[in-house]
Amino acid sequence: MALFALCAFAARAQEAVPSASNHEAAFPELTDWSAALQAAQETGKPLFVDAYTDWCGWCKVMDKKTFSLPAVKQFMNENMLCYRMDMEHNKASHNLRLAFGVNAFPTFVILNPDGTLMGKLVGYSDSAEWMKSLGMFLSEPHAKRPGIPAFQTIQWPDAIQAYADSDFEKRPEAEAIQLALTQCEPGSFMWFALAMNFSSLLGTQEMEYLLNHRESLGQQYGSDMANDLLQNALMRRLYALTKTATEPEFDQAIADFLAVLPADTLTALSMQVRFYKEKGNWKALVQILEKQSDEAMINSLSWAIYQGCDDQALLSRAAAHCAEYIASHSEAGYALEDTLAHLLAKLQRWDQAEAQAKRALGKATAEGEEGKETRELLQEIKAKRGL
């Protein structure tokens, strides 16, 4: 359930995390690993760790909108021992974060009762999606990971330990990471852990090793973790190319990415979107938009076009695609309704924009959203019309 590829799309105003000043954590803080593992062994239940940071808004939204629901909380507590753990200000979390490559938040780490890793789930989910994903996760067999030592006992290189001791604020110099990599046996646990945590620093040799030893790495650390590492490293390479490559070079890089990871069309698409945004190729973005049927994709792409494009014909096409989706999906959410209102306002279709903004506010109320951006848009529309 990896959602990080979506981060390549432009941020939506309504997709910004809602305020959660009254946030109440759903699970107790884990501060004593020994006690938690002993309880897991005694009960035979997996150990669930909500790996969060205090700046992670979506972590708070998961607590507020998903974990707080009685049915969700009951299912989780019946099937697992559930805790939360601050990944930056809790010294007990540092080895877990480094050993399992917890670099996106929220991440949910699930351990077997003996403390070995079952797997990770990454990203925000609403309650229905979460129950489905977690139910499937708990019911399926999980990879053996003989290459991962007991994470409580791991000794990290000095530069990495200093990074952890700084609560992950003082990132090591690239040269220190690259030196540490060269001092590790390729494929060893320490090499794999450094690669997971600093995949943007992998050189040609490390990338070749990942590509050529994908199967053996999967046998040592689980195919899911090996594939995630390879995907992340290739994605970071694509990200760098969005700023430097010509279109033919980037098209070839996308083809190379899909040759290795043919099922990961989402990452390829998100990188194409970023590339065309960097180039200001709004026509290509509109063409991509018109092929989409997923609401989140339509919303993210449409907002990017709204923010950066001034071509009236292209804006009209984006608005038409949003309107078509909304007309055929009565359950379309507030964010997309508001995006359409903004597009119509940019097209100076004031009557349509005002009506659409009011419709969006109705959705905001129904979904428990504040609708601040839409209210501001309505004021802007009135000012433009001299009302």
Confidence of residue 371 (pLDDT cuts 50, 70, 90): very high
The predicted pLDDT at position 266 comes to: 87
Q: What is the CATH number of domain 282-384?
A: 1.25.40
Residue 321 pLDDT greater than 60, yes or no: yes
**254-262 mean pLDDT:** 93
Q: How high is the mean pLDDT of the chain?
A: 90
DSSP 131-180: HHHHHHHHHS-----TTPPPGGG----HHHHHHHHTTT-SPPPHHHHHHH
pLDDT value at 5 more than 60: no
Give the mean pLDDT of 95-110.
94
pTM > 0.85: yes or no: no
**pLDDT, position 22:** 55
CA 174 to chain centre: 24
pLDDT beyond 80 at 273: yes
Mean pLDDT in residue range 89-95? 89
Q: How confident is the model at residue 23 (pLDDT cuts 50, 70, 90)?
A: low
pLDDT in tens, 109-145: 999 999 999 999 999 998 999 999 999 999 999 989 9
- CA separation (Å) from 64 to 69, 81, 228, 306, 346? 8, 19, 28, 30, 34
Confidence of residue 152 (pLDDT cuts 50, 70, 90): confident
The domain ranges of the chain are 282-384
User: What pLDDT, on a 0 to 100 scale, did the predictor assign at position 230?
Assistant: 93
User: Half-sphere exposure (CA, 13 Å, Cβ side) for 330?
Assistant: 0
Q: Which of 263, 360, 271, 347 is nearest to 310 (CA)?
A: 347
pLDDT confidence of residue 3: 30
Which of 11, 9, 4, 8 lies closest to 238, judged by CA? Answer: 8
Alpha-carbon gap, residue 230 to 384, rounded angstroms: 51
CA 301 to chain centre: 17
Higher pLDDT pick, 17 / 169:
169
